[in-house]
Structure 1
Amino acid sequence: MNATWFRRAIGATALLGLTTLITTPGWADALDTIMQRKKILVAIDLGNPPHGMMDAAFKPTGSDVETAQNLAKDLGVELEIVQVTAPNRVQYLLANKADVVISALSITDERKKVIDFTRPYAELQCVVAAPKSMAISSYADLSGKGVSVTRGTVNDQELTRGTANVPNVQIVRFDDDPTSVTGITSGQLQVFASSLPLINQLKKDNPNVDLETKFVMKGFPLGIAFRKNEPKLAAKLNDWVSANLKNGKLVEIYNRYHGVKIDPEKLAGM
Structure 2
Amino acid sequence: MNRRSATVLLSGLFGLSLAGLSAVPAFADTLDAIMQRKKLLVAIDLGNPPHGMMDSEFKPTGSDVETARLLAKDLGVELEIVQVSTPNRVQFLLANKADMVISALSITEERKKVIDFSTAYAELQCVVAAPKAMKIASYADLGDKGGIAVTRGTVNDQELTRGTANVKDVKITRFEDDPTSTVAITSGQLGIYATSLPLLNQLRKDNPKLDLDTKFVMKGFPLGIAFRKNEPKLAAKLNEWVTTNLKNGKLVEIYDRYHGVKLVPAELAAKS
TM-score over 0.5 for the pair: yes
Equivalences for residues 138-217 of structure 1 within 5 A: 138-144=138-144, 145-217=146-218
Partner-residue secondary structure (3-state), 2:28: coil
Q: Please give the residue correspondences for 1:114-153 in structure 2 after superposition, counting only pairs within 5 Å.
A: 114-144=114-144, 145-153=146-154
Task: Tell me the amino acid that sits aligned with residue 15 of structure 1.
Answer: A
Question: 1:228: which partner in 2?
Answer: 229
What is the distance in 2 between the residues matched to 1:245 and 1:53? Answer: 23
Partner of 1:46: 46
Percentage of identical aligned residues:
73
Number of the residue aligned with 2:16: 12
What is the CA distance between 1:10 and its match in structure 2? 6.9
Instruction: Give the count of matched residue pairs.
Output: 266
TM-score relative to the length of structure 2? 0.93
Aligned residue in 2 for 1:252 = 253
CA distance in 2, matches of 1:17, 1:139: 54
What's the TM-score once normalised by structure 1's chain length? 0.94
CA deviation digits over 1:103-150, x for unaligned, max 9?
000000100111111111111100000000100001111101210000
Instruction: Quote how far apart the aligned CAs of 1:46 are.
Output: 0.3
Counterpart amino acid of 2:262?
K
Give the SS at the match of 1:261.
Answer: coil
Q: What's the CA shift for 1:203?
A: 0.8
Q: Distance in 1 between matches of 2:21 and 2:163?
A: 51
What's the RMSD between the two structures over aligned residues?
Answer: 1.7
How far residue 13 of structure 1 moved from its aligned partner, in angstroms, is: 5.1
AA paired with 1:142? L
* Superposition map of 1:88-103 within 5 A: 88-103=88-103
Offset at residue 9 of structure 1 (A): 6.3
Note the alpha carbon deviations across 1:166-211, whole angstroms, 9 max, x for none.
Answer: 0111110000000000110111100000000000111111122110
CA distance in 2: counterparts of 1:13 and 1:266, whole angstroms: 50
Larger Rg: 2
- Look up the match of 2:265: 264
User: Which shows bigger deviation, 216-225 or 7-16?
Assistant: 7-16
Consecutive unaligned residues in structure 2, runs of 5 or more: none
Q: Distance in 1 between matches of 2:105 and 2:75?
A: 21
Distance of aligned partners of 1:7 and 1:186 in 2 relative to their CA distance in 1, 3 Å threshold:
farther
CA shift at 1:7, angstroms? 8.1
Q: Which moved more, 1:189-198 or 1:86-95?
A: 86-95
Task: Tell me the secondary structure at the aligned position of residue 269 of structure 1.
Answer: helix
Unaligned 5+ runs, structure 1 = none
